[in-house]
Chains A and B, each alone.
Chain A
């Protein structure tokens, strides 16, 4: 294989190829091609067994070897042996599975459930897969048992103190990523590194580091082992691209259509060059990024791996191509579209309980546009616009467009983003630069890096290449309040879950209630943090990510994995879920019991115990108290108190490997399952009902005062207490934004939210009627996108509970 060619020869080769590249550029793409490729992504995902199978085979072969080496060799085997393919019409090539839209198996994380749910996967009401063919099922039965007791979740379960294990998925949902069957994801790998240096360039650095090591030194020897693993993965990735080069060449030889033949030849040339070598054109850069991304995902399938600031790092090559006349803005836009479409080919199968936490099948490939440059200037460029425009005709669920809003951001750019958001029923996230930069500074990043931030996953601020910033499981804040009101006993489970904080009937003041709640948080938050930390510990020990690590600064120099403190900065969060319910509940008690004295604590507690059955008066009085989301200081201040107090608890300890321990306010889609384990709340929510979605979005349907009031409630929170991010979800009727003038007002609404302390805001711009129609006729609404959590999903692929939850959200109409 060409893999072994010397660098010198590679350079010579590229020079030769460089001469011919004028005529070998991408000629044209066309709407038809984009439409065809897009259509193919609107299919039910299929399970691909290859990754799981090859991983298993490799692990059997490498028993006894260092863990990092085993990981690297497993990745190399998968990349070498997995099925590859180039579809008709494709110009950017590379598949992460053998399927069109394939689900990867990660038995090294969890394994047993695949066998248990093999049939269920195609019939369950959330994240449904196509039925798994018999041969695949047989294969799964053959290799999955190997992992019994070896999967990370088995190790996690064995490490957690037995008496605390029962709190998992009660106090906190999704605490152990390994139990969710997902790697951390949220990669902020810097693609600039791969574009500029290529795999070969990185490998040279690895070799240089290895050459410096004194193998007699224990810690340096560890580095040696680790860097050897990195090297294996870099070579494996180059060989993977090489397989595509060969495939394209073979296909070209057989191709009779002259145009396609030329395209295949171009693909062959390109994959021969990148990602092994630096990219010389915009097209090469996209192909290089794509293969790199695939390898990164195959190494560690997880959600929200970002391309981060693609409009920034791709700009120099784009500009060069435009100046050389080898690309037009239209062509660049179409290439971006091909790239977006590719990001939709992979999904992660989650065990059913976890699928309800992370419903919607998206990997969420984040593209962050605009914002500031390192020296504080407006960063919007032509490519920022092209990335936005490209999305208009793609509008699939995985590519995730985030628009940074700063006072310096041009109105034209904000308007373009609003236009695209409207066309895509809401699918663009808007993010405040001012707030986010403050958050990054608070967590210790220097200003020039903070200005270059991006977002990974749902809402995690990060700095590509410099920092790994991972969210965490979702702490069920309403449950903690329930415990404070019920002397530590969970109403639904009926067990002592938290400390005994006294019979709430005897509470004479609001402060007593607050103290009980605080005690529950102080006692149970450390459990949540421990769950998180053990998870991180296990990933670092058994599931390092040497390939991904090579795309961060310092991991090679430090000889440490990104998930083991190798990056200059890192934060690990836990998410606060349902804080608005806690705020609404505390406000209702404060007002109705301790101030207006309309109710006694005893009456409230009796009513809660009865789930408000026959207690309509109590329900009425509690429901009439101020609710978060209406710019009412009485309750908004309490929500902020809750966030501040919880955040302080989380920050008391360090995270794994010296990281900062911080908070997010988010739920993904766990607001539904977390609600299952919470009884009736004093805010009027009944037992088992969903809790507020999005972490800081007002509870569904309670924000009735208008959009600006909702925004101000959220913008006034101290977002430096939730530095891993949060989400405000708002729903607008499309009529409310129907013409240019109204869209202009919408843009100013967003600007003001971002400039007055808000963080991330996103919209569903789809009418209740449309959503109800889609429930009735799913076949006609296959590509109707909605925002769930912070990502987009196809409405018709969601469970009925989640669909109803979206419909229940406050819709702002034209009035």
Chain B
């Protein structure tokens, strides 16, 4: 099949966040970063994955018998049946899903062609029109599928649908950068100034990120900057000041969104068999207000949340 496809793990019709107006947000699967606080861990790997909701498992054993590689075992644990999946062995063939009738086994990620995805996006066209909304292409990191994203943006433009890319900024391919340039708006994450900390927190250097940010700013690309505030990781006065200072020096930043830590993603780690490493307290509203003020002091239009 030579048609371009990308794995999508979620589509939200009618998002009030993720950019201006009412938006349809599509999440492409796969990301070069592995942020400790990542709230969409199902967006990290580049292929569809098994989603396991252990509480729904009744221990019927259907999945065990169809797994071609013997990756699934049912362990009896103090009288309770427990599903044990060897993710190393699992080839993500998803045969087990077809025979799981309780919904304990499901998948994260379905492949879409541009045509298929555009048809889904177009359904909400009338809401974009009235609200100044459009489509937001997020993930994961959408620019990992530059061909797909460029074609999608083209289709949207032909239909006068506003496009935004929600990006981590770690984009090194020329096509990926082109995709960022083509979008009408970028939701651009800034997760730190200091290189070593950034490397520790996200697994990658922030050099290409900051470079892209400055370049896109220079060409006048409208930017909404998203700053995750994670206690102990990105919330030192120094880090926040540094980010605010940098953003204050840019000219295309339309808004800064302060994204306070939350734990909505926690359940998905268990579903993916991943370890959840974050252990932090929520940020009190007063502190969030102070952080907002800090950014505003640099002349930035700032809001709490996306």
- Interface residues of A, Cβ cutoff 8 Å to B: 616-617, 619-620, 631, 705-709, 711-712, 736-737, 739, 741-742, 744-746, 748-749, 751-752, 755-756, 812, 814-815
**Contact yes or no, A705 B16, CB < 8 A:** no
Among residues 20 to 64 in chain B, which have CB atoms less than 8 Å away from a CB atom of chain A? 21-22, 24-25, 60
In the assembled complex, the CB of B272 is this many whole angstroms from the nearest CB of chain A, namely 19
Among residues 50 to 89 in chain B, which have CB atoms less than 8 Å away from a CB atom of chain A? 60
Chain B residues contacting A706 (CB-CB under 8 Å) are 11-15, 24
Question: For the complex, what is the distance from the CA of A97 to the CA of B156, rounded to whole Å?
Answer: 63
**Contact yes or no, B22 A709, CB < 8 A:** no
Question: For the complex, what is the distance from the CA of A742 to the CA of B101, rounded to whole Å?
Answer: 38
In the assembled complex, the CB of B151 is this many whole angstroms from the nearest CB of chain A, namely 23
Contact check: which of B22, B101, B133 meets A616 at CB < 8 Å? B101
Question: For the complex, what is the distance from the CA of A746 to the CA of B16, rounded to whole Å?
Answer: 8
**Contact yes or no, A749 B127, CB < 8 A:** yes
In the assembled complex, the CB of B146 is this many whole angstroms from the nearest CB of chain A, namely 26
Question: For the complex, what is the distance from the CA of A616 to the CA of B105, rounded to whole Å?
Answer: 14
Contact check: which of A617, A705, A742, A755 meets B11 at CB < 8 Å? A705
Please name 14 pairs of A and B residues whose Cβ atoms are closer than 8 Å in the assembled complex, sorted by A.
Answer: A616-B60, A620-B101, A631-B123, A708-B14, A708-B123, A709-B123, A712-B123, A741-B303, A749-B131, A755-B126, A755-B130, A812-B14, A814-B16, A815-B17
B124 within 8 A of A: yes
Task: Report, nearest first, the 4 A-B pairs whose CB atoms are least far apart.
Answer: A706-B13, A708-B14, A616-B101, A748-B131
**Contact yes or no, B14 A707, CB < 8 A:** yes
B248 within 8 A of A: no
Chain B residues contacting A742 (CB-CB under 8 Å) are 16
**Contact yes or no, B101 A708, CB < 8 A:** no
Given known contacts A620-B101, A752-B126, what 12 new A-B pairs fall within 8 Å (CB)?
Answer: A631-B13, A705-B12, A706-B24, A707-B14, A711-B14, A739-B303, A742-B16, A748-B133, A749-B127, A752-B127, A814-B17, A815-B12
Chain B residues contacting A751 (CB-CB under 8 Å) are 130
Are A709 and B14 also in contact (CB < 8 A) when A631-B123, A748-B21 are?
Answer: yes
**Contact yes or no, A748 B101, CB < 8 A:** no
In the assembled complex, the CB of A198 is this many whole angstroms from the nearest CB of chain B, namely 45
**Contact yes or no, A752 B130, CB < 8 A:** yes
B92 within 8 A of A: no
Query: In the complex, which residue of chain A has the Cβ closest to the Cβ of B18?
Result: A815
Query: In the complex, which residue of chain A has the Cβ closest to the Cβ of B305?
Result: A814
Specify which of B14, B60, B127 lies most central, judged by the most chain A CB atoms within 10 Å of its CB: B14
Are A708 and B17 also in contact (CB < 8 A) when A616-B101, A749-B131, A752-B131 are?
Answer: no
Among residues 199 to 227 in chain B, which have CB atoms less than 8 Å away from a CB atom of chain A? none
In the assembled complex, the CB of A365 is this many whole angstroms from the nearest CB of chain B, namely 32
Chain B residues contacting A737 (CB-CB under 8 Å) are 16
Are A708 and B130 also in contact (CB < 8 A) when A620-B101, A749-B14 are?
Answer: no
In the assembled complex, the CB of B21 is this many whole angstroms from the nearest CB of chain A, namely 7
Question: For the complex, what is the distance from the CA of A631 to the CA of B14, rounded to whole Å?
Answer: 12
Query: In the complex, which residue of chain A has the Cβ closest to the Cβ of B10?
Result: A815
B236 within 8 A of A: no
**Contact yes or no, A736 B130, CB < 8 A:** no
Question: For the complex, what is the distance from the CA of A708 to the CA of B123, rounded to whole Å?
Answer: 9
Question: For the complex, what is the distance from the CA of A744 to the CA of B24, rounded to whole Å?
Answer: 17
Contact check: which of A617, A631, A712, A814 meets B101 at CB < 8 Å? A617
Question: For the complex, what is the distance from the CA of A812 to the CA of B13, rounded to whole Å?
Answer: 11
Question: For the complex, what is the distance from the CA of A706 to the CA of B100, rounded to whole Å?
Answer: 26
B172 within 8 A of A: no
Question: For the complex, what is the distance from the CA of A755 to the CA of B13, rounded to whole Å?
Answer: 18
Chain A residues contacting B131 (CB-CB under 8 Å) are 744-745, 748-749, 752
Chain B residues contacting A814 (CB-CB under 8 Å) are 16-17, 305
Question: For the complex, what is the distance from the CA of A631 to the CA of B13, rounded to whole Å?
Answer: 9
Chain A residues contacting B15 (CB-CB under 8 Å) are 706, 815
Query: In the complex, which residue of chain B has the Cβ closest to the Cβ of A744?
Result: B131
In the assembled complex, the CB of A768 is this many whole angstroms from the nearest CB of chain B, namely 14
**Contact yes or no, A748 B130, CB < 8 A:** yes
**Contact yes or no, A708 B127, CB < 8 A:** yes
Question: For the complex, what is the distance from the CA of A755 to the CA of B130, rounded to whole Å?
Answer: 10
Are A708 and B24 also in contact (CB < 8 A) when A631-B123, A752-B126 are?
Answer: yes
Question: For the complex, what is the distance from the CA of A755 to the CA of B99, rounded to whole Å?
Answer: 44
Question: For the complex, what is the distance from the CA of A736 to the CA of B18, rounded to whole Å?
Answer: 13
In the assembled complex, the CB of B91 is this many whole angstroms from the nearest CB of chain A, namely 23
Question: For the complex, what is the distance from the CA of A709 to the CA of B127, rounded to whole Å?
Answer: 10
Query: In the complex, which residue of chain A has the Cβ closest to the Cβ of B21?
Result: A745
Chain B residues contacting A755 (CB-CB under 8 Å) are 126, 130
Chain B residues contacting A752 (CB-CB under 8 Å) are 22, 126-127, 129-131
B102 within 8 A of A: yes
Question: For the complex, what is the distance from the CA of A746 to the CA of B21, rounded to whole Å?
Answer: 10
Contact check: which of B25, B100, B124, B133 meets A712 at CB < 8 Å? B124
Question: For the complex, what is the distance from the CA of A706 to the CA of B11, rounded to whole Å?
Answer: 9
Question: For the complex, what is the distance from the CA of A501 to the CA of B31, rounded to whole Å?
Answer: 56
Query: In the complex, which residue of chain A has the Cβ closest to the Cβ of B131?
Result: A748
**Contact yes or no, B101 A705, CB < 8 A:** no
Question: For the complex, what is the distance from the CA of A755 to the CA of B124, rounded to whole Å?
Answer: 13
**Contact yes or no, A708 B13, CB < 8 A:** yes
In the assembled complex, the CB of A813 is this many whole angstroms from the nearest CB of chain B, namely 9
Chain B residues contacting A744 (CB-CB under 8 Å) are 131
Among residues 110 to 151 in chain B, which have CB atoms less than 8 Å away from a CB atom of chain A? 123-124, 126-127, 129-131, 133
Question: For the complex, what is the distance from the CA of A711 to the CA of B126, rounded to whole Å?
Answer: 11
In the assembled complex, the CB of A421 is this many whole angstroms from the nearest CB of chain B, namely 15
Question: For the complex, what is the distance from the CA of A744 to the CA of B102, rounded to whole Å?
Answer: 40
**Contact yes or no, A708 B21, CB < 8 A:** no
**Contact yes or no, A616 B16, CB < 8 A:** no
Question: For the complex, what is the distance from the CA of A616 to the CA of B58, rounded to whole Å?
Answer: 11
Question: For the complex, what is the distance from the CA of A565 to the CA of B175, rounded to whole Å?
Answer: 72
Chain B residues contacting A712 (CB-CB under 8 Å) are 123-124
Specify which of B17, B60, B101 lies most central, judged by the most chain A CB atoms within 10 Å of its CB: B101
**Per-position contact with A for B93-115: 1 when CB-CB < 8 Å, else 0?**
00000011111000000000000
**Contact yes or no, B126 A756, CB < 8 A:** yes
**Contact yes or no, A745 B101, CB < 8 A:** no
Question: For the complex, what is the distance from the CA of A325 to the CA of B21, rounded to whole Å?
Answer: 43
Question: For the complex, what is the distance from the CA of A720 to the CA of B233, rounded to whole Å?
Answer: 58
**Contact yes or no, B124 A708, CB < 8 A:** yes
Question: For the complex, what is the distance from the CA of A741 to the CA of B133, rounded to whole Å?
Answer: 13
Query: In the complex, which residue of chain B has the Cβ closest to the Cβ of A812?
Result: B14
In the assembled complex, the CB of B161 is this many whole angstroms from the nearest CB of chain A, namely 14
In the assembled complex, the CB of B46 is this many whole angstroms from the nearest CB of chain A, namely 23
Question: For the complex, what is the distance from the CA of A90 to the CA of B184, rounded to whole Å?
Answer: 59
**Contact yes or no, A705 B21, CB < 8 A:** no
**Contact yes or no, A736 B16, CB < 8 A:** yes
Chain B residues contacting A707 (CB-CB under 8 Å) are 13-14
Query: In the complex, which residue of chain B has the Cβ closest to the Cβ of A633?
Result: B123
Are A749 and B101 also in contact (CB < 8 A) when A706-B12, A814-B16 are?
Answer: no
In the assembled complex, the CB of A409 is this many whole angstroms from the nearest CB of chain B, namely 13
Chain A residues contacting B133 (CB-CB under 8 Å) are 745, 748
In the assembled complex, the CB of B59 is this many whole angstroms from the nearest CB of chain A, namely 12
In the assembled complex, the CB of B89 is this many whole angstroms from the nearest CB of chain A, namely 25
Query: In the complex, which residue of chain A has the Cβ closest to the Cβ of B58?
Result: A616
Chain B residues contacting A709 (CB-CB under 8 Å) are 13-14, 123-124
Question: For the complex, what is the distance from the CA of A339 to the CA of B100, rounded to whole Å?
Answer: 58
**Contact yes or no, B14 A616, CB < 8 A:** no
Question: For the complex, what is the distance from the CA of A742 to the CA of B17, rounded to whole Å?
Answer: 8
**Contact yes or no, B305 A708, CB < 8 A:** no
Chain A residues contacting B305 (CB-CB under 8 Å) are 814
Are A705 and B13 also in contact (CB < 8 A) when A617-B101, A745-B21, A748-B21 are?
Answer: yes
Question: For the complex, what is the distance from the CA of A741 to the CA of B17, rounded to whole Å?
Answer: 10
**Contact yes or no, B22 A708, CB < 8 A:** yes
Question: For the complex, what is the distance from the CA of A616 to the CA of B60, rounded to whole Å?
Answer: 10
In the assembled complex, the CB of A598 is this many whole angstroms from the nearest CB of chain B, namely 10
Query: In the complex, which residue of chain B has the Cβ closest to the Cβ of A735?
Result: B305
In the assembled complex, the CB of B65 is this many whole angstroms from the nearest CB of chain A, namely 14
Question: For the complex, what is the distance from the CA of A709 to the CA of B11, rounded to whole Å?
Answer: 11
Chain A residues contacting B126 (CB-CB under 8 Å) are 752, 755-756
Question: For the complex, what is the distance from the CA of A471 to the CA of B258, rounded to whole Å?
Answer: 51
Chain B residues contacting A739 (CB-CB under 8 Å) are 303
Question: For the complex, what is the distance from the CA of A752 to the CA of B130, rounded to whole Å?
Answer: 6
